[in-house]
Amino acid sequence: MPFYDDLKVMFSAEQIQARIRELGAQITADYAGQDLVVISVLKGSFLFCSDLIRAIELPLSVDFLGVSSYGGRTETTGVVRITSDLSKPIDGKQVLVVEDIVDTGLTMDFLLRNLATRRPAGIKICSLLEKPSRAVKQVTIDYKGFVIPDAFVVGYGLDYDERYRNVPFIGIMSKK
């Protein structure tokens, strides 16, 4: 009996991979001939980013930026902390920020403002999930996997208190 039997499947592994292939093709076309840096927002986006960069048919570099705003809860605290910074400068480069989920928009707004001070040539966002009903700050998601209702989801990198990241699909979690 798998440890995740209590989850209701929202998006299957197959649905996720099909959408990633579509996003990869779109990003490939949009960034052809440009110097692209993909920034994976840790920890939640690492699986998505891994699959996404393999679907982008361009030379690119990858960096990681750790942030925290949940602190083991099912709702954001509203306070965003950088837990791990980029390893290389991004000035003059096209930047694609890869996020697992944009819900309130507070974390992404913080990241966009922070990254803009580093003088990239451009910044776009690719998010696997968007939860617009929870938006407090409006941010433009340039590449979007799926729009979801106001439900707490885990799996495929998304967690609850550091658990469920290894579930192969995205599932709805009953309230903790």
pTM of the entire predicted model:
0.91
Out of 51, 100, 103, 159, the active site residue is: 103
Q: What is the pLDDT of residue 79?
A: 74
Q: Is 50 exposed, middle or buried (0-12, 13-18, 19+ CB in 10 A)?
A: middle
CATH number of 14-150: 3.40.50.2020
Is residue 5 flagged as an active site residue?
no
Q: What is the pLDDT of residue 64?
A: 97
- Round to whole Å and give the CA distance between 15 and 117: 36
Q: What is the pLDDT of residue 6?
A: 82
Nearest-CA neighbor of 152 among 84, 72, 92, 59?
A: 72
The answer to whether 93 and 37 are in contact (CB under 8 A) is yes
Residues of the chain with pLDDT under 70: 1, 70-78, 175-176
Q: What is the pLDDT of residue 1?
A: 54
Q: What's the gap between Cα 35 and its chain centre?
A: 21
Q: What is the pLDDT of residue 148?
A: 96
Q: What is the pLDDT of residue 175?
A: 64
Could you tell me which residues come within 8 angstroms of residue 62 by beta carbon, excluding any fewer than 6 positions away?
37, 38, 39, 40, 49, 53
Q: Is 117 exposed, middle or buried (0-12, 13-18, 19+ CB in 10 A)?
A: exposed
Residue 174, amino acid: S
Residue 159 tokens read as 């967690």
